[in-house]
Amino acid sequence: MVDLRQMRYFVAVAEEAHFGRAAARLHMAQPPLSQAIRQLEAELGVELLHRTTRKVELSEAGRAYLDRARELLAGVDDAGDLARRVAAGAVGHLTIGCVGSATYSHLPSLSRALAVELPGVDFSFRGEMLVPAQVRALAAGQIDIALLRPPVADAELIVTRLRHDRLVVALPADDPLAAKSQIRVRDLADKALIVHSAGRSSVMYDVVQRLLRDAGIAAKVRHEVGETSTLITLVAGGLGAAIVPEPVTALALDGVVYRRLVRPVTTVELALAYRADRSEPHLARAVDVIRDVIGVSGS
């Protein structure tokens, strides 16, 4: 059976057209090289080389064999290179799901950083995902990494805190509260509110309800929405105010102003999650890049 060693020997002899030069190129003695080529010809049942005392020439069969041998060896080399790149986490495909605030604040810089650090990995992104949808998508393999807001009660996920984000109030620009530089929760007592959907189990819905409850305020919810972009658009339309994580301020729309929420000073976590049974090198490298870009920090 022909092996790759014989094939490489033959290519060297064919390209050098001389056994001595080919042996030097291969860092071996000439006799075993000549023996290997004769064994190759015997196994193939054809003469690949015409030998004289002065030169070595390819036969017609040898020229045909040389072309295919080069292709096969190149394919073997490519396969080895691919295996090494996969082992190093340099190739693959990953889908990243993001909550709304991360979609607007972190996704632009994150996508650029991933493209630079892992150019061989094909990334796709799903934005405006609520946490329950992200957890289900992770379990189903529809996304590989999630940027989400804890809590996440799933023992099959590795959840790593990335940062704390302060809360701000999004207001219509003509709202009287827009004249303030800071807003207290009790300032919202008479405000119509736009919140993330309770029916879709939004973490931010629970956060807002708890803030209002602790301040003794009965929530006056005017609209419940599923997407952060829709929420801010409704604020711009003058339909109410909204409490959102500070990164949402990256979503700048005419007619909306953002004011920091104080008394109490409240933050929400942003975390990274992926399945505990995933150990691919390219996923681990992507996780490291995300941690570096978004930062492990407090507010």
Could you give the CA distance from residue 199 to residue 101 in angstroms, rounded to a whole number?
Answer: 19
- Comparing C-alpha atoms, which of 121, 99, 116, 296 is closest to residue 203? 99
* Ramachandran angles phi, psi of 258, nearest 5°: -120, 135
For the record, the structure tokens of 10 come out as 């033959």
Question: pTM for the whole thing?
Answer: 0.70
Could you give the CA distance from residue 17 to residue 34 in angstroms, rounded to a whole number?
Answer: 13
Boundaries of CATH 3.40.190.10 in the chain?
92-163+268-294, 166-267
Query: With bands split at pLDDT 50, 70 and 90, how would you rate the model's confidence at 297?
Result: very low
Is the per-residue pLDDT at 243 higher than 90? yes
Q: With helix as H, strand as E and coil as C, how does 14-70 read?
A: HHHCCHHHHHHHHCCCHHHHHHHHHHHHHHHCCCCEEECCCCEEECHHHHHHHHHHH
pLDDT tens digit string along 29-81? 999 998 988 998 888 888 999 887 677 889 888 889 898 989 888 887 777 77
> What percent of the chain stands above pLDDT 90?
47
pLDDT tens digit string along 98-111? 998 888 888 888 99
Is the per-residue pLDDT at 299 higher than 60? no
Residue with tokens 């999650």: 273
Match domain 166-267 to its CATH number in 3.20.20.10, 3.40.190.10, 3.90.105.10, 3.40.50.10330: 3.40.190.10
pLDDT averaged over every residue in the chain: 88
CA distances from 142 to 93, 107, 201, 247, 278 (A): 12, 18, 20, 25, 13
Q: Which CATH architecture has domain 92-163+268-294?
A: 3-Layer(aba) Sandwich (3.40)
CATH class of the domain comprising 4-87: mainly alpha
